[in-house]
Structure 1
């Protein structure tokens, strides 16, 4: 065999050491890419599937907005529906709403392939399971449970509070199990909002305790008779709570609690009772005489 222009006479190429090295490296990299490609396509879904990281529980507070996510990969031309499980009511199909309640709406976040069901101003009856359904054959479903937390509100103490005139009183409105702090808490006195124009007379304090408790304190300094009445604590996102404040000018609290229907003894009734009791064991004439005598003596002493 003879060499001619870098070729051997038999028709084979003559590879230099550099060419052999490049060929070897090319083979190595090609094999690596092929292995990576095999690994990448192993277990790949051929149609829609739910992202396994999608949550199955959502907890929200009464009166707020809830967002239920449903991540569907490789959806293609399939539809996504949201169904309320308790009554099998179809709420939405894609972006269309199929319920008269306009609190429900579905929208797609394309960057994350997430179909989200929005429930505005959540009510206690909204709690329960919701089904995210894909229109494959057979149908594919992902269930999410919506938990609704209902905060509790109360004004500490009795529903009727009695204080002495000139004293300082504190009305504490405590809101517990509140995931979100109220935007505001207003106090009302007989229907009129209490404002802090004079801090020497009135003060309102707001404190957040822990992760789910809010306390609003209304402080009234040097109470007077004008401060008596109904006080209502009204948060931005909850029902209100009320208390009745009585400012006393020396009288005993029991006197305030007695109404027109309070029982009062009839004059001479106790003496008549004694007479009736005696009639059971003595002659009637004697018993009546004793009762009348005691009644007369009582009237004389009262004068």
Structure 2
């Protein structure tokens, strides 16, 4: 038996070494007073002898050994996760002496494209689930964020800036939830990795007009604006009176822009088109313009009324008589004594009942009134029917046959304003109807059944000042 006073001894404790996969690792065993004994390195789990003294025993070319100044170092080149585990430094004493070292091989995170979500498409209001699967050593943590840094809506009450876990579940995906999401995997071993997952929220188009009506003077240019929302990407276009499709040219200029699922549509009528020169609007351009958005799920449109204003001015004639001469002069009165504005507009009546029919006698219009409004209505349903209306101050009445005062107007006429001319602002009567005020005349005698009728108004406004 060997004298214990002559035995070698280990200097220090066994090491714990961490190395990233693909890098080299070194385990060092320090021995004092080795004498004629030898140091060997073994793999504990397989009991494989790797080296004895300065010689490599294993046939693994990635294993090496070095010796110097009481230190024996096991070299493992380009370590792989399988190289992780316990290694033993052993001295061939009797009994044998050994010291255990631990090698931990860490692996940067890696996201599996095959097991993770690529793109997801859901209808608006349906649940959506995004999955991200990652590997690595240690096991990576997963975090979800929106690429645009907006909050994530998990349900009606939960909004988060980020979400942790393999699954990102949304109970009801609204259109604002569509877009790119980032799954970020990290485990402390650089580099962290991320995967971009696209969520498509599909919904029917919606279209809104910026204004119900646009008024422009004859010879000018009118800009009509609409906004639309749709996904998948819609087809956007304009029509006139619901059937004539419009295109860029000398009369029309059409532009569109988009941001995500939101679109802006602009139609300029009477501006400078792609042809030569400028073509201002005329009364022939008045009408109902529609902006349309169509996609695979459906279609929608909004209507804008283009109203063309024309202005005429009359003059006064004054005659002065003296004992010797008679002088006649004709001069304009400032402000103009009479200004006539002409326009058109559309609206729709809903649910017209027999109880709503009534004839209203004319209130007339006195020359003493500060202004007089003449309102001529042209109705296109089963032929043309004319109704003449007059207004005085805040009152409005009509002369004609059976007249309707619908309880509901789905698209009420735009307010009729009295415009300014030559810098003079005229009083603006509020044309609030009396009870039963008619909006139009319907040729169909059987009005007890509900129906919809579109009425076209041709309006002439005449202002008379004293």
Structure number having the greater helix percentage: 1
Higher RCO (CA 8 Å, separation ≥ 6 residues): 1
* TM superposition score normalised by structure 2: 0.26
* TM superposition score normalised by structure 1: 0.39
